[in-house]
Structure 1
Amino acid sequence: MVSVLCVIGTPLIASEVVEFGSDESTRYLTELKKLYLTSSDREALLAHSNGLLDTYALRAGYQVGQANPQDFLYELSVATPGELRIREEVRSSSGGVAVRNRSLSVFGLDPYLQYQCPAQGFSCSISSPIDGLPLLVILRDPQGAEELAKALSFLIRNLQKG
């Protein structure tokens, strides 16, 4: 289990839910498709989500003073219709690597993901829509966590269409 702690000098909203309307949805998807040069909403959302996961990856170098700093790297893919595959790679400073592949069936899930950026520590987490436990852990960046939660929410909605 990963404990998530963060430090910032501004007030913290402990937990936020990302929501969006239909006009924003259309505009957001249109911009992503232009950015990633695709006509597919799903391809654009996957590329954007994976790009955000790479940009905001929690690396050992950001965990100054921690007893066991680790790199947390993620990659998303779609295995079968309605299923999001999450590849998690955790690299310890001693050179050990642990890889875990999880599948998340999106049917019946609330697509509006929550994220937390605690006031103490170095990371933010995106909560699993199944049990509220951390699904992904990223570098402490509330705006990055918000953008990732938004992209994943759109992706889940897209996958729920089949």
Structure 2
Amino acid sequence: MGMGLTRQLGAAMALALACCASAASAAEGNARLEDSEQQRYIAGLKRLYLTGDERRALLEHCNSLLGTYALRAGYQVGQPQRDDLSYRLSVGHPGELLAREEQRAEHGTRLAVRTERLSVFGLDPFIRYECPQSGITCTFYNPADGSPWLRTVRDLKGAEELAKALSFLVRNVQKG
């Protein structure tokens, strides 16, 4: 009886180890899949923006998307204060992303410019955003503290693409 129980425990241990090994290899496979997806995505951007530099391609793409989906006064029908709101990203010191915000009055010459520095070291590069159905904007949240960071006109496909590009840009800037 002792020998049968030992054999059963040994078989159970072998099965548990096999399950753990297959789960680890599946996770490793998913990581490789995500890596290859990122490599294909960035290769496409490098071709699109005619550059061999990943960071430059990602910055160009993010800035292009921010320009395309900028929150313009014309989209804000019925709003009391209809200002143009636009952003431009750049890289400052190593590990630092700069977001320049311009808020221009619909009528007149009032222009407010603000630059926010984001140190990306140690951050989760995933950019979270929301596009409420009841609103006209999508809000992208600062990965450092969760506060509102960028606002664009409400476009679900555009917001998804911008979040993806921003996430890859943060990862790239984290490399230094």
The TM-score range, normalised by the shorter chain, is 0.7 to 0.9
Secondary structure, in 3 states, of the residue corresponding to 1:21? helix
**Alpha-carbon distance, 1:28 to partner:** 0.1
Partner of 1:59: 72
Partner of 1:79: 92
Partner of 1:27: 40
Question: Which structure carries more relative contact order (alpha carbon 8 Å, separation 6+)?
Answer: 1
Q: TM-score, normalised by structure 2?
A: 0.79
Partner of 2:115: 101
RMSD of equivalent CA atoms:
1.0
Structure 1 position 138 matched with structure 2 position 152: yes
**Alpha-carbon distance, 1:151 to partner:** 0.5
How far apart, in 2, do the equivalents of 1:94 and 1:104 lie? 32
**Alpha-carbon distance, 1:108 to partner:** 0.7
Q: Percent same amino acid at aligned positions?
A: 58
Structure 1 position 114 matched with structure 2 position 125: no
Q: Which has the higher helix share?
A: 2
Task: Tell me the matched-pair count.
Answer: 143
**Alpha-carbon distance, 1:93 to partner:** 2.2
Per-residue CA shift, 1:27-63, capped at 9, x if unaligned? 0010000000000100000000000000000001000
Per-residue CA shift, 1:56-109, capped at 9, x if unaligned? 000010000001111111001111111001100011224221100111100011
How far apart, in 2, do the equivalents of 1:141 and 1:71 lie? 17
Choose which of 38, 46, 50 in structure 1 pairs with 2:51.
38
* Structure number with bigger Rg: 2
How far apart, in 2, do the equivalents of 1:36 and 1:79 lie? 21
**Alpha-carbon distance, 1:23 to partner:** 1.5
